[in-house]
Structure 1
Amino acid sequence: MWRDVDRADRVAWASGQVRSDNHLLALMVQLKCFNRMGYFPRLDDVPEAVVAHIRRDLGLGEDVAAVYDSDRTRGHHRMLIRPRSEVVSDIQQDRRRRHHREVRRAQGLGPRHRRRPSRLTSCASVRQPVQLVRQGFGDGTDAAV
């Protein structure tokens, strides 16, 4: 199901976050579903075949069920999953847009560059801080990073 290195890392992380096998299974089901679908389904809506597969992968007994004792635990697990997920959230996209807007502003570009990516903004990735652009290090003549 998962690559061995990723699997060991995920299981170690999840085991450190929960107090029971039921919560471990629920957390791993939510993690896998969120990474695959981009949202958190209700545990009742996840097919039993998927839950059984994850249960076997974790080495848990058949008596372990993916259930939450409270809504608070479910919410806590969702807060844990979001930073570890492979899903790009709207918040990250908004940060990226703000970054590119700041880069365009720092480079003195007008609103005509808003709709189409210019060579300057395509050179400035999220990894290139705006401060470097302001200091003249990212003038757009560099190769794309």
Structure 2
Amino acid sequence: MSASPGKSHFWVWFHFGIVSGAIRSRAAPPTFVGDTVHFQWGGRKEGEGETTFDNDNTGRITFLGDGKIRRKMRWMGSLFEFVGKKVAGDNVVRSNVIGSWKEEYRGINSRTYEAARVARWPSGYYVGDERDDITSNSDTETQSD
């Protein structure tokens, strides 16, 4: 987590296993313990790298003191919550890292989603396997191959 150079908002990079991405706060970094800051986020699903971004990708972070946070995020119609704690050590985030988070966040949009979708499915949509769905070891269906 790091404040933007102008300190008008902050950026966070996250990786939750099934999705990773960037968070951009809608307000300046907090000043007091207990402050809550709302955010928008965008990310990529693991596997094919499909992007997730829309007005429902929102959340809030509450700063609990002693480097602890509570975060609630909305994704795919569900709200999930978790807590975190600052890791001891050198937590300096260089401006070039913030730049890459910002670039990732701005690159997750409908234009790049469509370009990736066409690259995955050149026919314009996923058609799947055109053969009948018959398993090779079926004893109730006949094989056409």
Q: TM-score, normalised by structure 2?
A: 0.29
The structure where strand makes up a greater share of residues is: 2
Q: TM-score, normalised by structure 1?
A: 0.29
Whichever structure has more helix as a proportion of its residues is: 1
Q: Which structure is higher in RCO with an 8 Å CA cutoff and minimum separation 6?
A: 1
